[in-house]
Amino acid sequence: MTMRKLALASYPQQCDLANANILWVSGYVVDRIGIFEERYTHGIADYDYSLRALKGNIPLWLAPGVCGICEHNRGKNWKTGVSLKERIRWMKSPKGLAYSEYLFYIKKYFPAYLPYSFIMMWMKILFPFVWDRFKKTA
Protein backbone atom coordinates (compact mmCIF):
# COMPACT_ATOMS: atom_id res chain seq x y z
CA MET A 1 0.00 0.00 0.00
CA THR A 2 1.37 3.40 -0.97
CA MET A 3 0.06 6.36 0.94
CA ARG A 4 -0.05 10.01 0.09
CA LYS A 5 -1.79 12.94 1.72
CA LEU A 6 -4.89 14.06 -0.16
CA ALA A 7 -5.31 17.74 -0.94
CA LEU A 8 -8.30 19.61 0.46
CA ALA A 9 -11.07 19.52 -2.15
CA SER A 10 -14.68 20.60 -2.60
CA TYR A 11 -15.72 17.07 -3.59
CA PRO A 12 -15.52 13.65 -1.87
CA GLN A 13 -12.33 11.70 -2.50
CA GLN A 14 -11.75 7.99 -2.12
CA CYS A 15 -8.94 7.14 0.31
CA ASP A 16 -7.15 4.14 1.81
CA LEU A 17 -6.73 5.10 5.47
CA ALA A 18 -8.85 7.09 7.90
CA ASN A 19 -7.93 9.26 10.85
CA ALA A 20 -11.08 9.29 12.93
CA ASN A 21 -11.01 12.68 14.57
CA ILE A 22 -14.36 12.91 12.79
CA LEU A 23 -15.68 9.69 11.25
CA TRP A 24 -19.11 8.80 9.88
CA VAL A 25 -19.88 5.10 9.75
CA SER A 26 -23.15 3.81 8.33
CA GLY A 27 -25.25 1.14 10.02
CA TYR A 28 -24.57 -1.06 7.00
CA VAL A 29 -20.82 -0.92 7.67
CA VAL A 30 -21.28 -1.60 11.40
CA ASP A 31 -23.45 -4.61 10.53
CA ARG A 32 -20.74 -5.94 8.18
CA ILE A 33 -17.52 -5.34 10.14
CA GLY A 34 -18.61 -4.24 13.60
CA ILE A 35 -17.23 -1.22 15.40
CA PHE A 36 -13.75 -0.35 16.70
CA GLU A 37 -11.56 -3.19 17.93
CA GLU A 38 -11.71 -3.26 21.75
CA ARG A 39 -7.97 -3.85 21.97
CA TYR A 40 -7.28 -0.17 21.20
CA THR A 41 -7.82 2.45 23.87
CA HIS A 42 -7.08 5.77 22.16
CA GLY A 43 -5.29 5.91 18.84
CA ILE A 44 -4.71 3.34 16.13
CA ALA A 45 -8.32 2.07 16.23
CA ASP A 46 -9.20 4.39 13.35
CA TYR A 47 -6.42 3.03 11.18
CA ASP A 48 -7.35 -0.55 12.09
CA TYR A 49 -11.02 0.16 11.31
CA SER A 50 -10.25 1.65 7.91
CA LEU A 51 -8.05 -1.31 6.96
CA ARG A 52 -10.79 -3.70 8.11
CA ALA A 53 -13.24 -1.82 5.91
CA LEU A 54 -10.96 -2.06 2.89
CA LYS A 55 -10.43 -5.77 3.54
CA GLY A 56 -14.24 -6.12 3.56
CA ASN A 57 -14.47 -4.29 0.20
CA ILE A 58 -16.01 -1.23 1.83
CA PRO A 59 -14.73 1.98 0.22
CA LEU A 60 -13.46 4.87 2.34
CA TRP A 61 -14.31 8.43 1.43
CA LEU A 62 -12.85 11.73 2.57
CA ALA A 63 -15.57 14.36 2.98
CA PRO A 64 -15.24 17.58 0.99
CA GLY A 65 -13.97 20.68 2.75
CA VAL A 66 -13.15 20.85 6.46
CA CYS A 67 -15.33 19.10 9.06
CA GLY A 68 -13.38 20.22 12.14
CA ILE A 69 -10.09 21.60 13.36
CA CYS A 70 -7.68 20.08 15.89
CA GLU A 71 -4.60 21.70 17.36
CA HIS A 72 -1.43 20.25 15.84
CA ASN A 73 -0.08 18.10 18.66
CA ARG A 74 2.98 16.51 17.15
CA GLY A 75 6.61 17.26 17.51
CA LYS A 76 9.42 15.68 19.46
CA ASN A 77 7.09 13.30 21.26
CA TRP A 78 9.87 10.89 22.17
CA LYS A 79 10.75 13.36 24.93
CA THR A 80 14.43 14.12 24.59
CA GLY A 81 15.70 15.49 27.89
CA VAL A 82 13.45 13.51 30.24
CA SER A 83 14.41 10.42 32.19
CA LEU A 84 14.40 6.95 30.65
CA LYS A 85 11.70 5.93 33.14
CA GLU A 86 9.45 8.77 31.92
CA ARG A 87 10.11 7.93 28.24
CA ILE A 88 9.18 4.28 28.88
CA ARG A 89 6.01 5.38 30.68
CA TRP A 90 5.14 7.59 27.69
CA MET A 91 5.89 4.72 25.27
CA LYS A 92 3.35 2.50 27.05
CA SER A 93 0.71 5.23 27.43
CA PRO A 94 -2.37 5.16 25.14
CA LYS A 95 -1.73 8.85 24.43
CA GLY A 96 1.96 8.21 23.86
CA LEU A 97 3.27 5.48 21.58
CA ALA A 98 0.71 2.91 22.81
CA TYR A 99 3.41 0.22 22.71
CA SER A 100 1.27 -2.94 22.99
CA GLU A 101 -1.50 -1.59 20.76
CA TYR A 102 0.93 -0.40 18.10
CA LEU A 103 2.75 -3.74 17.96
CA PHE A 104 -0.62 -5.56 17.81
CA TYR A 105 -1.62 -3.37 14.84
CA ILE A 106 1.70 -3.90 13.04
CA LYS A 107 1.54 -7.67 13.61
CA LYS A 108 -2.04 -7.78 12.32
CA TYR A 109 -1.55 -5.77 9.10
CA PHE A 110 2.19 -5.57 8.42
CA PRO A 111 3.75 -8.64 10.07
CA ALA A 112 6.96 -8.45 8.05
CA TYR A 113 7.60 -5.03 9.65
CA LEU A 114 7.14 -6.22 13.24
CA PRO A 115 10.86 -6.66 14.02
CA TYR A 116 11.67 -3.29 12.42
CA SER A 117 8.84 -1.53 14.28
CA PHE A 118 9.90 -3.07 17.59
CA ILE A 119 13.52 -1.97 17.12
CA MET A 120 12.62 1.53 15.96
CA MET A 121 10.27 2.10 18.89
CA TRP A 122 12.96 1.11 21.37
CA MET A 123 15.55 3.20 19.51
CA LYS A 124 13.28 6.20 19.88
CA ILE A 125 13.00 5.61 23.64
CA LEU A 126 16.55 4.48 24.47
CA PHE A 127 18.43 6.83 22.14
CA PRO A 128 16.20 9.89 21.53
CA PHE A 129 19.19 12.05 20.61
CA VAL A 130 19.88 9.73 17.65
CA TRP A 131 16.22 9.83 16.66
CA ASP A 132 16.23 13.65 16.88
CA ARG A 133 19.23 13.86 14.61
CA PHE A 134 17.88 11.62 11.85
CA LYS A 135 14.13 12.25 12.11
CA LYS A 136 12.73 13.79 8.97
CA THR A 137 10.94 17.06 9.59
CA ALA A 138 7.32 17.18 8.44
C-alpha closest to that of 23 among 1, 45, 8:
45
Q: 3-class DSSP state for residue 56?
A: coil
pLDDT 10s digits, 50-102: 999 999 999 999 999 988 887 766 555 567 788 999 999 999 998 888 999 99
pLDDT band at 131 (very low <50, low <70, confident <90, very high): confident
Q: Are 18 and 46 in contact (CB under 8 A)?
A: yes
Distances (CA, A) of 21 to 46, 49, 58: 9, 13, 20
What pTM value is reported for the model?
0.81
